Structure formats: structure tokens, C-alpha cells
Chains A and B, each alone.
Chain A
Amino acid sequence: MSTQASVAVKPSGLQRAVRFVLPFMVFVAGLAVWELVVRVREIPPYVLPAPSVIFLTLIRDWVVLAESLATTLLTTLEGFAAASIGGIALALLFNQSKWVEYSLFPYAVVLQVTPVIAIAPLLLIYLEQQTAVVVCAFIVAFFPVLSNTTLGLNSVDRNLAGLFQLYGASPQQTLRFLKLPAALPYILGGLRIAGGLSLIGAVVAEIAAGTAGAGSGLAYRIAESGYRLNIPRMFAALLLLSLAGIVIYGVLALISHLVLRRWHESALGKEN
């Protein structure tokens, strides 16, 4: 690693290109092998569709799939927003009062460790379907936000806290000018995890809900296509879900980088 770094003084641009080109080549090679195997052995599409068939299905069924994608993304977004606001708010509450923290934290852990797939059917009984799905996404995603924000709020430099005390800062000032900025890298790390998790939560809930009634998310499409042996559409929906996850992660990572790039170690290049 160190020798590589010393060699790569100049061609860092090349190295960066290689980092994108190599996985892409693996992807293309994998697709080519897949396509070849399916064609040569004449595997029927309901067993294993070729990549070309999946791609064609994606285009042919685009209207249906796009609608489902929008539904799933909306659920994910709502769950993510609820998890972010709820997680940060709860962490702030914990930070204000140890009593509240001691009283409530175990339940946050219980919610986190209970598999959401087991909670989802119950939620679907008591809540309206769309609400239940959003709640599932929230349950899965809020814990990393909560625990990371708590960690961040507790990681404030002791001397800086002393300085704020010395100058008679009010609790609001300490929160706004010291605790929240200090916790920001941790909060953004929590949000990055929560983004992917809220998609998982939404998908799990959709699958649970899909069997119970009318749903139109991507996960529901996968389940529905499975019953109808429409395997190419299953793959197409899966592809969209995967892309959605990548985009969500990418956007959050970008936001994190833009916010922290001027000061935090995590966002600085290795050369600095």
C-alpha cells in the first residue's frame, strides 16, 4: 500500500480512472459471460433471463416499473426524513437529560434489534398501509442516526466546552455553535447509513404488505412477478432497486463531502 502510494505521486488521475474502469470492465465481462451461457445452453427466460432480455423488459415495462420506482422512492424518502428528524431530535433530547436517555434508550435498542420483517405484518394490521410502510422504513433507519448523533454530541472537545462555559454561553448557544457543528460529521455518517437502510425498510414492508393487498412499490412488483413467473421483470425491478440504493448512497456521500470538505479529516484528500 505504502509503496503504491509512493509510486503514484504523479498518476493519481490515472489511478482514479483505473478505479472506475476496472469494476466497470468486471461488470461488462460478467454480463457477457451471463449472456453467452444463457444463449449457448438455451436457458429459458423463466429460469434465467439473459441480460439483454432484462434490459428489453426494463424498456417495455418502463411505465409500470417507473411508477413503482416512484412509489418506493417516496416511501424511502419519507422514512428517511422521519428517521433523520426523529433520530436527531431524540439524540438532542437524550443529550439534554440523562433521565430521558436512561428511560428510553433501551427501547430504541429493542426496536433496532427486533427484525423489521417480523414487525411489519403487525404494523399493517394497526396502521394504514402507506403509513405502515413508512413506519417500517423509519424503524430500520432511525437507530444509526440516533446513535451516531449521540456519539457526536458526546465527542465535543472538553476544552472548547470549557471555553463556552468561561464566556457564559447559554445552552442554546452551546448547542448551536458547539455541539451541533462538532457532531455534524457523525450525524452525516449516520444519515449515510440511514439512507440505505430506509430503502431496505421500505422494501421489506412492501413485500409484507404486497401479500396482504394492493401495493405498487418495486418490491411488490418483484413479489407479483414471482407469482406470475415473470422472471425478467423480477430482475428488471431488482436492477432498479439496486440503482436506487446506489444513487441514494452517492447523493448522501456527496452532501457529506461538500459539507465537510473544508475542515474534516474524512473529507480531505490523502495528499493534504
Chain B
Amino acid sequence: MVESKPSSTVEASLTALAVSLRGVTKVYDNGVMALGPLDLAVRKGEFISLLGPSGCGKSTALRLIAGLSAASSGTVRVSRQEGEEQPGHGIGFVFQEPTLMPWTSVRENVRLPLKLGGIAKAEGRARADAALASVGLADFADAFPRELSGGMKMRVSLARALVTDPDILLMDEPFAALDEITRFRLNNDLLVLWRSLGKTVIFVTHSVFESVYLSQRVVVMTGRPGRIQADIRIETVEPRGEEFRTSAAYSDYCRRVSAALAPSYQGQSVL
């Protein structure tokens, strides 16, 4: 179950991979080694979590996959749909903050990726409304972001990431700033969306409980420079729901993931 490197069987079925990182490192301009070397293979339709202490390069890894920054060495491969030209269309990104444009309506925020892609206004609006409906915010299309609660803003952010119908959804600690009840609800909604849409999700979090609850695979990372410490598969009866959150299997997985995470915090001051 616990493996430090992707097995060769995964390598063989390269075509079924949504994302693959091979020997990827990231060195910042100031010489700090932030990441790697990192090897990671994510199958199409898989839901994986990257879990690790803050500053371990989880977000950096996500930005590399999204193409928002370039790897210092190694290769980052992201599968694209047939005839895919524009970068980004195959990828949806949800940031830690909602990252909405405060000066325009929720609908226009969600339509942004389509507008930038040159899709006609009428079609864009229809697709934005559909995306908003899928996250349960159909009635708030004309509201401004400041009129929404933190959880609703995060839903808008999710709708915006989904509006281009991407194959891969990258989520960078999206629910970290929310209260627990809102986070649980969004966790459930995300799982429902994932099951119905069949997208590949790479979910960065620092919460053991969230990672175990959501993902099929929890990839535990070490402290800086971030490397893979453990790769734990979470197997349970699907679809998951609230009963999984309170099950013995769940707490067992949480204990194992915590144990795998513990070395990453060794030698670190609590403060």
C-alpha cells in the first residue's frame, strides 16, 4: 500500500494518465529548493490529495501542473483533449481564496474563462448559468461577489473552474479558510460533482481528515524540499457520505495518514 515511487505498472499505461511528473524540481530565484525531485502519476478520473506541511511545495506542484510556473528540471506532462490548442482549457484551477473579480457580477466571473477563450457572449452566459446551477447558485448569478458568504464565493470559484468543462481540476487548499460545517458540505458537494462529471481532481490540503474523506489516493509529502513520503490508497464503499466520515475505517485511514505525515514535521518547532 505504501510506496515511495510510482510502480512500473503505472508507467506502462501512460496513455491513461492525466498528469505525470518525472523528476520534477523547482528552485526559486533566491536559490531555495522548493520541490523535488518529484515523481507523480495521476490516472484519468482519479481523485488524489497532496497532503503535507505548509511550505512543502504542494501549491508549487499544482502551479507547475497548471503551467503557471516552469519546472527547474524534469518533465511535466498533462494529457490534452483531441485538437486541444489553447493552454488552460483542459485545466480548471481553484485557488485558496475565491479569487473573484469584485467589480463584476457572479455570472460574469464565471463566464471569464469563456470570454478569454473568445466564446460568444450568449453561449458563455448560458454555460456560466449552467455551471452556477451545478454548484447550487443559480439564483445568485446577478449578485456581486461581496454580497456572498465565504462558502458561496468558493462555490462560484468552483463553477468558474468547471465552466470550460476541463478534464483536470486543480484545487489549492480551496476550503481551508471556511468553517467546518461549510467545509463538510462543500466536501460532499465536490464528491457528488466528481462522481457525475468524472474529472481528474488533484486536491491540495493540509488536513488529514479532508484528504482521507475526499480522495482515492492520499499522496503525503515531506517538508521542504517537497518529496513524496507515502502514497496511500483509500478504499471504501462508494459513494462516500457522512457515514464514511464516522466509520472505523475512516479513522483508521486517518491514523495511518497521520503516521505517514508525522516524519515531515520532525525537528520542526510547533510555533
In angstroms, Cα B146 to Cα A163, docked, is: 19
Which residue of chain A is the closest to B105 with respect to CB atoms?
A262
Contact A165 B68 (CB under 8 A): yes
Contact A181 B103 (CB under 8 A): yes
Contact B116 A169 (CB under 8 A): yes
Contact A160 B101 (CB under 8 A): yes
Contact B102 A163 (CB under 8 A): no
Shortest C-beta distance, B145 to chain A (Å), equals 8
A168-B86, A168-B116 in contact; A263/B99 too (CB < 8 A)? no
A164-B116, A166-B68 in contact; A264/B102 too (CB < 8 A)? yes
Considering residues A157, A162, A167, A177, which has the most beta carbons from chain B within 10 angstroms of its beta carbon?
Answer: A167
Question: A residues 244-272 with Cβ under 8 Å of B?
Answer: 262-264, 268
Contact A168 B88 (CB under 8 A): yes
Chain A residues whose C-beta falls within 8 Å of the C-beta of B113 in the assembled complex: 163, 167
Interface flag for B87 (CB, 8 Å): yes
Contact A166 B93 (CB under 8 A): yes
Interface size on B, residues (CB 8 A): 26
Contact A159 B95 (CB under 8 A): yes
Contact A159 B97 (CB under 8 A): yes
Interface flag for B54 (CB, 8 Å): no
Shortest C-beta distance, B203 to chain A (Å), equals 17
In angstroms, Cα B101 to Cα A263, docked, is: 9
Interface flag for A116 (CB, 8 Å): no
Contact A167 B146 (CB under 8 A): no
Chain A residues whose C-beta falls within 8 Å of the C-beta of B263 in the assembled complex: none
Contact B144 A167 (CB under 8 A): no
Which residue of chain A is the closest to B69 with respect to CB atoms?
A162
Contact A159 B99 (CB under 8 A): yes
A184-B103, A262-B144, A263-B146 in contact; A166/B97 too (CB < 8 A)? no
Count of A-B residue pairs with CB < 8 Å: 62
A167-B113, A169-B116, A173-B116 in contact; A162/B68 too (CB < 8 A)? yes
Which secondary structure dominates where chain B touches chain A?
loop
Interface flag for A193 (CB, 8 Å): no
Which residue of chain A is the closest to B117 with respect to CB atoms?
A167
Which residue of chain B is the closest to A180 with respect to CB atoms?
B103
In angstroms, Cα B40 to Cα A198, docked, is: 61
Shortest C-beta distance, B77 to chain A (Å), equals 17
Considering residues A168, A182, A262, which has the most beta carbons from chain B within 10 angstroms of its beta carbon?
Answer: A168
In angstroms, Cα B87 to Cα A262, docked, is: 33
Chain B residues whose C-beta falls within 8 Å of the C-beta of A160 in the assembled complex: 99, 101
17 intermolecular pairs with C-beta atoms under 8 Å apart:
A159-B95, A163-B99, A164-B116, A166-B93, A167-B86, A167-B89, A167-B112, A167-B113, A167-B164, A168-B87, A168-B117, A177-B112, A181-B101, A182-B103, A184-B103, A262-B103, A263-B146
Chain B interfacial positions (CB closer than 8 Å to A):
63, 66-68, 86-89, 91, 93, 95, 97, 99, 101-104, 112-113, 115-117, 144-146, 164
Chain A interfacial positions (CB closer than 8 Å to B):
157, 159-160, 162-169, 173, 177-178, 181-182, 184, 262-264, 268
Known: A159-B99, A264-B103. 7 other contacts (CB 8 A): A163-B95, A166-B66, A166-B91, A167-B86, A167-B88, A178-B101, A184-B103
